[in-house]
A = this chain, B = another copy of it.
Amino acid sequence: MARRARQRRDAEEARPGAPASPFVQRRLPFFDVLDEETIVKLERQVDWLIQDVGLDFRDDPEAIRIWEEAGVKVDECRVRAPADWIRSLCAKAPREFTQLARNPERSVRIGGANQVFAPIYGAPFVRDLEGGRRYGDMESFEKLVKLAYMHPNLHHTGLVICEPCDVPVSHRHLDMVYLHMTRSDKPHLGAITEMSRAQDSVDMAEILHGREVMDRNCVIMGNVNTNSPLLVDKVVTQAIQVYCGRGQGIVVVPFILSGAMGPVSTAASVAQAMAEAMMCCAFAQLVRPGAPFVLGNFLSSMSLKSGAPTFGMPEPVMSNYAIGQLARRVGLPLRCGGSLTASKIEDAQAAYESADSMHSTMLAGAHFVLHAAGWLEGGLCTGFEKLVMDADRLGGYQKILDQALAVGDEDMARDAYEEVDPAGHFLGCGHTMRNYTTAFYEPALSDSENVESWEEGGAKDMRQRAYERWNAMLGAYEAPELDQAKDEELRDYVARRKREIPAAWY
């Protein structure tokens, strides 16, 4: 009975169904962890970094020209600017915006009270229970895109869900963007590693969405890291010019391992991240006022033993809460956190660290959450099982955020107390009958049966159940409909660009 119910439910969930809501529309209040005095100290530090210390903008003369044209006296490549002016530029970015998906039911709203969950980005390795750990390849990449598309708790498919290492680096972005566009109809990101690759992504988005739609909407975004501390290289400034120049969105993320790329202090690292991202936001607004911008933050603590980054620890958890409040204060959409862990496999360590990391990410109000599912090994590895395990938990977070605590008349259940006496039970009462099917979120991968049933079912741990689940999902995959002419135009574009660009492995 329990097994039949599970098979039925697995089959249902494996069908790509639009989730109840294509993104989180938060009703739960925000959690402000910083008092006014603390905020003022942090903002004073941000201003000091912007005005007195400054950031280097390197390797992109056009970026220097843009700063100078705006009246900044650039000292070699060091940009220092009045903090008030930087803040007034940041205020030109929208507090929230829509990224259009090719299926309009999947479009996401980023910023404000909205939150969007996307999978892991950038891992060179993949791991699954059958194949073990290995380099990512295009076959894995395609499977992972399909899973991100099918999973109702992922709102967005990101881009580099793993590195497809079997395709030349110079061609890789074309295949990746094409697969996100065709194997899924959820929103996704474009490439950033070189200006021409960013341009290819934007051009392909124009084919998919059409010029007019693209003129008026954000349909694609890039996600770039600064070179912390305090360095912005041309990868960032050129991606901003390509994406924002075309009215599209950009996510700029300082990645700070405290003690290495920032001081060994959470407060100082958070302030540094704010300063770096705000300078990039100001730059983006100089490129195009009103360009959608997501202020990123990726902060890690460190193991004393080896200097290795650690995840899910109290310091990055605290930084999620703090940066959430600071981002609301400056009025910019935020990317931070994710289901992060340093564990090599999908064991309890992975889950403890991922849950603490993601719980704080969701409560903090992160608007765009890359790495919300699938992350292992400090981001070096995408786990197939981890992807569906994490995503399973995201549905619970969405329910907390979307619904908070409902207190309508039906929720108060007064008629139930007329039916049920003290020490009685509510199992069959009218209120229970009316509400039980929707009362509780039941994750597909949690086994709550008693030990006897669980042992009868083979005593499978969550990894094994997750392995079965993603395989069942892939077995049920159906590609979302796509206009054939558009598909052909995209294929032609990819083929032409592959002819034009020499295959290179760097």
A contact set with B: CB distance below 8 Å: 1-2, 5-6, 28-29, 31-35, 38, 41-42, 45, 48-49, 53, 55-56, 78, 133, 227, 229-231, 258-268, 270-271, 301-315, 317-319, 322, 342-356, 359-360, 363, 377-378, 380-381, 389, 393, 396-397, 399-400, 403-407, 410-414, 416-417, 420, 422-427, 429, 431-432, 435-437, 439-443, 445-451, 453-454, 459, 461-463
A396 to B317: give the CA distance in the assembly, Å: 9
Determine if A306 and B406 form an interchain contact, defined as CB atoms under 8 angstroms apart: no
Determine if B258 and A422 form an interchain contact, defined as CB atoms under 8 angstroms apart: no
Given known A-B contacts A302-B440, A449-B308, A414 and B352 have beta carbons under 8 A apart: no
Determine if A343 and B447 form an interchain contact, defined as CB atoms under 8 angstroms apart: yes
Given contact pairs A304-B437, A319-B405, A348-B461, enumerate 20 new A-B contacts (beta carbons under 8 Å).
A2-B305, A33-B404, A38-B407, A56-B422, A229-B423, A260-B425, A260-B426, A262-B426, A266-B405, A268-B413, A302-B440, A304-B436, A307-B427, A310-B440, A310-B442, A313-B442, A317-B400, A349-B462, A352-B389, A355-B359
A356 to B399: give the CA distance in the assembly, Å: 13
Enumerate chain B residues within 8 angstroms of A427, measured Cβ to Cβ: 259-260, 307
A113 to B29: give the CA distance in the assembly, Å: 21
As for how many copies of this chain the complex holds, the number is: 2
**Which residue of B227, B313, B352, B404 contacts A355 across the interface (Cβ within 8 Å)?**
B352
Determine if A267 and B406 form an interchain contact, defined as CB atoms under 8 angstroms apart: yes
Which B-chain residue is minimally distant from A258 (CB atoms)? Answer: B439
Q: Which 3 A-B pairs have the closest CB atoms?
A: A351-B351, A355-B355, A263-B413
Given known A-B contacts A318-B400, A343-B462, A412-B271, A265 and B450 have beta carbons under 8 A apart: no
Enumerate chain B residues within 8 angstroms of A403, measured Cβ to Cβ: 314, 318
**Which residue of B6, B48, B305, B417 contacts A49 across the interface (Cβ within 8 Å)?**
B417
11 residue pairs A–B, Cβ–Cβ below 8 Å: A31-B363, A33-B404, A261-B425, A265-B406, A268-B412, A301-B439, A315-B399, A343-B447, A344-B451, A344-B459, A352-B355
Enumerate chain B residues within 8 angstroms of A463, measured Cβ to Cβ: 347-348
Which B-chain residue is minimally distant from A35 (CB atoms)? Answer: B29
A459 to B344: give the CA distance in the assembly, Å: 9
Enumerate chain B residues within 8 angstroms of A353, measured Cβ to Cβ: 446
Distance (whole angstroms) from the CB of A2 to the closest CB of chain B: 5
Which B-chain residue is minimally distant from A125 (CB atoms)? Answer: B451
Determine if A308 and B448 form an interchain contact, defined as CB atoms under 8 angstroms apart: yes
Distance (whole angstroms) from the CB of A113 to the closest CB of chain B: 14
Which B-chain residue is minimally distant from A390 (CB atoms)? Answer: B352
Given known A-B contacts A6-B305, A259-B439, A48 and B414 have beta carbons under 8 A apart: yes
Report which residue of A258, A304, A413, A445 has the largest number of chain B beta carbons within 10 angstroms of its beta carbon.
A413
Distance (whole angstroms) from the CB of A139 to the closest CB of chain B: 22
Given known A-B contacts A315-B440, A413-B268, A436-B304, A420 and B29 have beta carbons under 8 A apart: no
Enumerate chain B residues within 8 angstroms of A407, measured Cβ to Cβ: 38, 41-42, 267
**Which residue of B313, B314, B440 contacts A301 across the interface (Cβ within 8 Å)?**
B440
